[in-house]
Amino acid sequence: MATSDWPKLSPFECGVRGCCPRCGQGRLFRGFLTLAPSCEVCGLDYSFADPADGPAFFVICFGCVPSVVFGLWIEMAFQAPYWVHLVTTIPFMLLTCIPPLRPLKGWLVASQYYYKAEEGRLVAPEAAKAPPPSVLRG
């Protein structure tokens, strides 16, 4: 099947479900955050995918920061003992930081496939080259 024969799938839906960004049927992950080598249904090689620290960045911005603010608020407002933080702040932090990692990583990988993202290349076009030195002396 040619690449153009596959339906265009939403990167968000594929990422959240953890399915193949090309066919929507195969699994994207082998473990909790480990990508499978390829799709078991359509054979798409996932070696193109490199979400790097993207999922962790989003979790830090949208999960960790509010949970730290929550812990600081409990401390400043109630001067809570340590056991209160063990029962409230730590579970809140774990619930806001760990579960979003997999869907975010899946979304970033599916977006890389959807938008055909690849490494940038520094190539100077012919028109951008400097003029010969004789023209500059003028």
The string of pLDDT tens digits covering residues 58-105 is 999 888 889 999 999 999 999 999 999 999 999 999 999 999 999 999
Q: In 3D, which of 47, 66, 62 has the Cα closest to residue 101? A: 62
Q: Is residue 124 in a domain?
A: no
pLDDT one-digit tens code per residue, 18-58: 999 999 999 999 999 999 999 999 999 999 998 889 999 99
Q: Is residue 128 in a domain?
A: no
Q: Is residue 110 in a domain?
A: yes
- Per-residue DSSP letter, 61: I
CB 132 within 8 A of CB 33: no
Q: Is residue 77 in a domain?
A: yes
Give the global pTM.
Answer: 0.78
Q: Is residue 135 in a domain?
A: no
Domain that holds residue 39: 8-117
Q: Is residue 82 in a domain?
A: yes
Q: Could you give the number of structural domains in the chain?
A: 1
